[in-house]
Amino acid sequence: MLIEDFVKVERELYLLDRNYKDFPYWVYARYAIFSYLTKIEDGIALNNQELSQGLFCGIISMLFNSLNFIGKCKRKKEADILILNHERRVLENNKYICLYTEQIAEKYQNSVVLERPYNYKHLKPAKTNNIIYCDYIELASLSQGLILCMCKTKKYREAKKFFLIQLEEIVNSFQKKVGTKIEISDLAETVTRLYLLYCVKKKIFNKVLSIIEPHVIIEVVSYNMNCMIINELAAEKKIPTIELQHGVMSGSIAYNYPKKSDVKQFPDYIFVFSDYWKKCAEFPIDDKNIKVVGYPYLEEKEKQYNKIFTEKRGRNKKVVLFLSQWTIGNELSKMAVEFSEICDEEYEIIFKLHPGEYENWKRNYPWLEKEDKIKVIDSLKHNIYEYFAMSDYQVGVSSTAIYEGLEFGLETYIYKIKTSECMKALCEDHYACYITSPQELYMQIRDKNTIKNSHGRSEFWKKNALQNMEREIDNILP
């Protein structure tokens, strides 16, 4: 489903104003509903997510991390900044860091980091000192919600009945744009469960904010439920909230709203990588609250790996880097295997998996495991920027990493499948080139069809990022 079509229905039916009791259900459910509609339209199976093999140990770890949660919050009372980081840390110098918030946490010592579990655990040892794990909130909300669902309590039944009635009208509007039948009962169940989680989480987060009393809140993924609830509470308490850009926004419903929307669950400010990103989405905030700062971590890594970047120019054998994502890994891995067969070791091929693919890629992509001419990266042992620095070409679909690869001067090719639509502007502006097959990719590289703007990198990343970020934060701090 196109974002424009989805937003049009939202506008026509005033969906952002819909509430159940004090729960603004459409605002919280729109991301999940858009994902559902897109998947059934594309014929993607709606299987439940597989449980991790480490679930039992993960639950034990979460129980341990939950001990004395409120007491830990009280020890961080009156912090200047509350940081909601990205839980998927990366390994650097034998410690795990958050790419987006680590430098801020170091700079502002009177800050506290709240971290959600990542696959039922936290990546340790973490470099961050002032950190509180949110396992208690996740366990409390999930366990209470599960009990209410399984016992079909009055609270559950009343909520689901309401959502079944409400969603029938809404689904009729979307059904015209989606060929496959939309199951109202599935959507009603999803929204009901969100409501039950919301009831528990809002109560706990309200207590947390009342204890810590931050002057500013900084977050990374504003559309996860924790951030949305905190933004809602912060709006009531007059605490300014800031989101740090972490990915491509143009193709995400999370950053595209009907014009002039008032969404309390959205942050007050967004810090973007450059002016290029200010124009890529319909944010529900004023332009003056979209601050251009850059990306400190990328800037640091580009300088660090500059020597490798320079040395690679003298090599005889070129390196082709494939950038996978769990949503398109099946298609891209097959393309990489076919490409390796065509080029017959003429190039070195690296297939960089997304961290979400590390655990199950051998089972999901058996053809990739069998191909010994491809080097598969399936761990956090090496930084992605090291691979950018040693590569000459990159192939991807819609990953933010594609833009980062441009910073390293890589010739860039976009595999043209449905989810690559958000890269259309990148190709039209000649920073990248669409390819539709491994044969076409091979011919483009072999014939040295240089992409016009592949080395014009400054448009995507503002320089002096950390200083810019500190200046804007200081301006917002009371």
If asked whether residues 30 and 74 sit together in one domain, one would say: yes
How far does CA 133 lie from the centroid of its chain?
20
Task: Supply the pLDDT for residue 428.
Answer: 92
If asked whether residues 102 and 194 sit together in one domain, one would say: yes
What residue numbers bound the domain in which 161 lies? 1-44+52-295
Predicted TM-score (pTM) of the model is: 0.92
Contact indicator for 257, 30 with CB cutoff of 8 Å: no
- Distance CA(195)–CA(159), nearest Å, equals 8
Task: Supply the pLDDT for residue 110.
Answer: 96
Task: Supply the pLDDT for residue 450.
Answer: 63
If asked whether residues 260 and 387 sit together in one domain, one would say: no
Mean local confidence (pLDDT), 134-141: 96
Please report how many Cα atoms fall inside a 13 Å half-sphere around the Cα of residue 135, on the Cβ side.
22
Task: Supply the pLDDT for residue 250.
Answer: 86
If asked whether residues 197 and 306 sit together in one domain, one would say: no
Contact indicator for 240, 266 with CB cutoff of 8 Å: no
Over residues 42-94, the pLDDT tens digits come to 776 565 444 445 667 788 989 999 999 999 999 988 899 999 999 999 999 99
Over residues 300-344, the pLDDT tens digits come to 999 898 777 666 656 778 999 999 999 899 999 999 999 999 998
Cβ burial 259-274 (10 Å sphere, 16+ → b, else e): eebebbbbbbbbbbbb
Over residues 142-157, the pLDDT tens digits come to 999 999 999 999 999 9
Q: What is the SS3 assignment for 127? A: coil
Mean local confidence (pLDDT), 25-46: 88
Q: Return the H-helix or E-strand segment holding 29.
A: helix 25-42
Q: Which of 166-170, 348-352, 451-455 has the lowest mean pLDDT?
A: 451-455
451 pLDDT more than 70: no
Task: Supply the pLDDT for residue 50.
Answer: 45
Higher pLDDT, 359 or 264: 264
Higher pLDDT, 380 or 48: 380
If asked whether residues 320 and 268 sit together in one domain, one would say: no
Domain termination residue (choose one: 242, 264, 295): 295
If asked whether residues 205 and 123 sit together in one domain, one would say: yes
In-domain check, residue 470: no
Task: Supply the pLDDT for residue 49.
Answer: 46
Task: Supply the pLDDT for residue 301.
Answer: 92
425 is written with which tokens?
A: 């502007």
Task: Supply the pLDDT for residue 179.
Answer: 78
In-domain check, residue 478: no
In-domain check, residue 473: no
Q: Which of 279-288, 367-376, 379-388, 394-403 has the lowest mean pLDDT?
A: 379-388
Overall number of domains in the chain: 2
CA dihedral 380, 385, 389, 391 (to 10 degrees): 60
- Distance CA(277)–CA(464), nearest Å, equals 17
Q: Mean pLDDT, the chain, as a whole number? A: 92
If asked whether residues 75 and 91 sit together in one domain, one would say: yes
Task: Supply the pLDDT for residue 53.
Answer: 52
407 is written with which tokens?
A: 């910073």
Spatial CA neighbour of 3 closest among 190, 181, 11, 429: 11
Mean local confidence (pLDDT), 110-135: 95
Q: Which of 167-181, 301-315, 436-450, 462-476 has the highest mean pLDDT?
A: 462-476
* Residue 78's CATH number: 3.40.50
If asked whether residues 63 and 202 sit together in one domain, one would say: yes
Domain termination residue (choose one: 295, 317, 342): 295
In-domain check, residue 329: yes
If asked whether residues 118 and 171 sit together in one domain, one would say: yes
Q: Return the H-helix or E-strand segment holding 198.
A: helix 184-212
Distances (CA, A) of 414 to 39, 324, 398, 418: 21, 12, 8, 11
Mean local confidence (pLDDT), 445-460: 70
Higher pLDDT, 317 or 285: 285
In-domain check, residue 418: yes
354 is written with which tokens?
A: 């997304």
If asked whether residues 178 and 223 sit together in one domain, one would say: yes
If asked whether residues 198 and 94 sit together in one domain, one would say: yes
Q: What is the SS3 assignment for 126? A: strand
* Residue 340's CATH number: 3.40.50.2000
Confidence of residue 180 (pLDDT cuts 50, 70, 90): confident
Over residues 164-176, the pLDDT tens digits come to 999 998 999 999 8
In-domain check, residue 465: no
Interior angle at CA 190, CA 186 and CA 195, nearest 5 = 145
Task: Supply the pLDDT for residue 51.
Answer: 44
In-domain check, residue 477: no
In-domain check, residue 467: no
Quote the longest CA-to-CA distance of the chain.
Answer: 71
Q: Which percentage of the chain shows pLDDT scores above 70?
A: 94
If asked whether residues 343 and 202 sit together in one domain, one would say: no
Mean local confidence (pLDDT), 89-107: 96
